[in-house]
Amino acid sequence: MSRLVVLGDSHALALAEGFAQLKARGEEAFPGEVRFLPIFDGPDNLAPFFRRDGDGIAFLGDRPAQGIIEALGAAMLSPEDRDTIYAFSMGLMITLLLRQGDWKRSTPSSLAPATHGKRHRNLVSELLVEAMALENQKHVIDFARAVRQVGLRAFIIAAPPMREDDRAIERGRPAAVLLEVNRICRRALVRSYSEAGLRVLEPPPETYQDGDVLGFMRSDLRRLVGRDSHHGNAAYGEIMMRHVLALASSMS
Amino acid sequence: MTSPYSALDPRHFWRTAVAAENPLAWRDIYRKRFPIEPDDRIATAGSCFAQHFAGQLSRRGFEFLDSEPGPPSLSPALRRAFGYGVFSARYGNIYTARQLLQLFQEAFGERRPAEPPWISEGRFHDPLRPAIEPEGFVSADELAALRQLAHLPAVRKVFLECNLFVFTLGLTEAWLSAEDGTVFPSCPGTIAGEFDASRHRFHNFGFKEVQADMVAFIDRLRDVNARAKVLLTVSPVPLAATATDNHVLEATTYSKSVLRAVAGSLHERFQHVDYFPSYELVTAPAARGMFFEPDLRNVTPVGVDQVMRHFFAEHPSPSVPASVDRPARRPIDDEWEEFRAVCEEARLDPSFNA
């Protein structure tokens, strides 16, 4: 009997909601228990948040440390638990990077022809943007390497597509610039996790407007709560969980 | 009995001014020709030793001109790795006078280098600043876009807007394009690209050539910016390697002698040119090599501090009281690592990465 643990940041909430909808319809195709542990806030992963502990991985903060004890009955993630598959919802949450003031004036070089001559548009190289993403998610990349080294059965669930109503756009960053920065950052991070040995499950084309994976999230998949401008809703979670469950089933 | 020396003060005599003093207590070595006003926009360029000026000027509240700033949130490590804020624009190290002159000419549309991008491991390096992107550009188009649309306008701005241009003369030896004489900051095949004896040639600039290049640059700078003054220094860092037939010690002495002599001649010739003796402060025999790292090439933090103390004693900033008596402070190792000069020339030595 396998167990799937979806562990990570606030995006795991939509996944849990989506799974609940699937389950209500009897469509939760997974041969085992599914647990959801949204034990991090996105910014938690921008600082050291784990440590290697013998053959396992323990979390540093009280909330995540308590969370896995309560949910899993163990203080750390251990490869000895061969029945558990971990789906980490973290590592591509670059919302804060996109909301930096940098993108008011800086533009990836790939947009040079479109922005040439426009005031205050400083061109930066693609590899600089990549380096910013890798530095931003440095601790999750280290975590992915540790997961691989200790031998956990795991994969990463990418954050949702960028939303057209994201606060970064509202604050004056050009949408085209943000989409391009987002594309470069995701590409670099997916490559980095792959090199670390973890597969990344990215949002499928059907979660994007017009199926364009270089564009924004479909507007009907947005979570519309308060001033939230970057989470997906239960419908988004349902789409993602179909893929999560399929991948996890193939690993079980 | 009297002589012209009788009335001179102690700073004129080697025994009293140098030999009898602890090098850390030397004083009154540099006397400014003109003041640096708080609102003067200061631009920096030159060899790796010049990198120390940019950081120190900013930290002391001077108006450091940075015409090609990176994204504001860049970490210090990325900022440095990608050449942001190291100098006033992302030109990397400018080791020779000819390289400086050619950069000026290119920035103002007076020349267009013929050398194609240097390609290493599928990435494209700008031959005129091969280390500015640590892994190169992703395409020749990106390289061209960043040079033509971002870098050269920024360089032009440096020359048009600076009130003081600080330039550290570094080398006389250089590698050139055989096609159009474009000078590279490093030998093809060291940082990137491949050396091709049919396309690349060596040249060791002599006094008259360096002087002519510097005069041409200073004149052209004044043409486009009548307010611009110039402050020259000579890098105390020895050559990492020589491509001449001479021993590297002899080649270093030749190179530094030429550069020091040119700096002196320019100081004599132009009233708006000052000379700051960083070379002498670090390399003087009385210092017994104490300002060099064990490799006898890189300057220690104490050496850099020594140089800067003398500079800021004559150019005090509002934010830090000047005193040549202030004891030298060694930054903690981590901090020093962050500020260690990026020296492309060191890559000439094949053992650099050994």
pLDDT digits (tens, 9 = 90+) for B280-303: 999 999 999 999 999 999 999 999
Q: How far is B136 from chain A (nearest CA, A)?
A: 8
Q: Output the DSSP codes for A173-228.
A: --HHHHHHHHHHHHHHHHHHHHHHT--EEPPPGGGBGGG-TTSPBPGGGB--STT-
SS3 content of chain B, % helix, strand, coil (to 5): 40, 10, 45
Q: How many CB atoms lie within 10 A of CB B180?
A: 12
How much of chain A exceeds pLDDT 90, in percent?
73
The reply to whether B140 falls in a domain is no
Q: By the CB < 8 Å criterion, does B142 face chain A?
A: yes
Mean pLDDT, rounded, for A86-102: 92
The reply to whether B156 falls in a domain is yes
Q: What is the pLDDT of residues B191-247, one digit of tens each?
A: 999 999 999 999 999 999 999 999 999 999 999 999 999 999 999 999 999 999 999
Among candidate residues A198, A217, A193, A222, the one with its CA nearest the CA of residue A207: A217
The reply to whether B130 falls in a domain is no
Nearest-by-Cβ selection for B146 from A100, A101, A123: A123
In which domain, by residue range, is B173 found? 33-113+151-187+203-293+304-348
**How many whole angstroms from its chain centre is CA B31?**
20
**What is the ipTM score, two decimals?**
0.90
Among candidate residues A17, A87, A100, the one with its CA nearest the CA of residue A249: A87
Interface of B with A in 26-65 (CB under 8 A): none
The reply to whether B237 falls in a domain is yes
Q: What is the pLDDT of residues A13-43, one digit of tens each?
A: 999 999 999 999 998 878 889 999 999 887 8
The pair of structure tokens assigned to B164 is 């003081």
Q: How many CB atoms lie within 10 A of CB B249?
A: 11
Q: What is the pLDDT of residues A169-228, one digit of tens each?
A: 988 889 999 999 999 999 999 999 999 999 999 999 999 999 999 999 999 999 999 889
| CATH at A97 | 3.40.50
Q: How confident is the model at residue B353 (pLDDT cuts 50, 70, 90)?
A: very low
Q: By the CB < 8 Å criterion, does B135 face chain A?
A: yes
The reply to whether B68 falls in a domain is yes
pLDDT for position A186: 97
Helix (H, G, I), strand (E, B) or coil at B168: strand
pLDDT for position B330: 42
Q: By the CB < 8 Å criterion, does B73 face chain A?
A: yes
Q: How confident is the model at residue B50 (pLDDT cuts 50, 70, 90)?
A: confident
Residues of B with Cβ-Cβ distance to A102 under 8 angstroms: 71-74
pLDDT for position A171: 86
Q: How confident is the model at residue B349 (pLDDT cuts 50, 70, 90)?
A: low
Q: How many CB atoms lie within 10 A of CB A3?
A: 17
Residues of B with Cβ-Cβ distance to A131 under 8 angstroms: 78, 81-82
Minimum Cα–Cα distance from A133: chain B residue:
B74
SS3 content of chain A, % helix, strand, coil (to 5): 50, 20, 35
Mean pLDDT value across chain B: 90
Q: How many domains does chain B have?
A: 1
The pair of structure tokens assigned to B129 is 């600043």
In which domain, by residue range, is A17 found? 2-251
| CATH at B268 | 3.40.50
Q: What is the pLDDT of residues B320-344, one digit of tens each?
A: 554 544 444 443 344 334 334 556 6
Minimum Cα–Cα distance from A126: chain B residue:
B138
Residues of B with Cβ-Cβ distance to A124 under 8 angstroms: 70-71
Best of A109, A130, A134, A135 to disrupt the B interface (most B CBs within 10 Å) is A109
With an 8 Å Cβ cutoff, are A122 and B150 in contact?
yes
Least confident piece of the model among A97-101, A225-229, B57-61: B57-61
The pair of structure tokens assigned to B206 is 């002599």
Residues of A with Cβ-Cβ distance to B81 under 8 angstroms: 131
Q: How many domains does chain A have?
A: 1
Mean pLDDT, rounded, for B243-265: 98
With an 8 Å Cβ cutoff, are A135 and B70 in contact?
no
Minimum Cα–Cα distance from B72: chain A residue:
A102
